[in-house]
């Protein structure tokens, strides 16, 4: 599997979940946000454990560091949101901040980092990295592997 395609599919699924959370209410909003938090946590772990270390080259070093900073911001917002009820007055502003942060991160990856990675790495290297990401998804979707959020087996195939 192509690692960039896998990560891009996760970006697209996160955007769909952001849209669903935005229009939901009550328990449905809480459930959808927990699914989103799980997906974003899985995604950041895949990037931090497998993708970034493998693609950190002289040409991508600054972008990778910026991506780690983006992830730290997203993790803090996810943690804050997981401790709030969906009807809490702080929930929507924090959700908007998270969405804006994730959208900016995704835009930078798609427009700058991913094209550089495609240019710098061989097809064989990309295929090997893709296989590592698939194994990483399998590992990280085991119950308890991502303790900060609840397990949702529906996301295991992402």
More confident: 69 or 58: 69
Is 0.95 surpassed by the pTM of this model? no
CA 79, chain centre distance (Å): 14
CB 51 within 8 A of CB 5: no
Task: For the chain, list the domains and their CATH numbers.
Answer: 3-141 (1.20.120.520)
| pLDDT tens digits along 60-75 | 999 999 999 999 999 9
Nearest to 27 by CA among 85, 98, 88, 92: 85
User: At residue 24, what are phi and psi to the nearest 5 degrees?
Assistant: -85, 170
| pLDDT tens digits along 74-126 | 999 999 999 999 999 999 999 999 999 999 999 999 999 999 999 999 999 99
CB 8 within 8 A of CB 156: no
């Amino acid at each position: 599997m192509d690692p960039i395609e896998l990560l891009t599919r996760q970006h697209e699924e996160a955007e769909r979940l952001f849209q669903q959370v935005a229009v939901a209410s009550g328990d449905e909003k809480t459930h959808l946000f927990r699914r989103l938090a799980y997906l974003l946590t899985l995604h950041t772990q895949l990037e931090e454990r497998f993708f970034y270390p493998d693609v950190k080259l002289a040409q991508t070093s600054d972008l990778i560091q910026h991506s780690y900073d983006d992830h730290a911001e997203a993790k803090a917002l996810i943690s804050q949101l997981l401790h709030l009820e969906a009807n809490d007055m702080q929930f929507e502003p924090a959700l908007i901040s998270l969405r804006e942060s994730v959208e900016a991160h995704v835009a930078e990856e798609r427009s700058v980092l991913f094209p550089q990675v495609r240019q710098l790495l061989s097809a064989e290297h990309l295929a090997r990295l893709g296989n590592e990401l698939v194994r990483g998804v399998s590992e990280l979707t085991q119950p308890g592997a991502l303790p900060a959020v609840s397990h949702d087996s529906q996301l295991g195939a992402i």
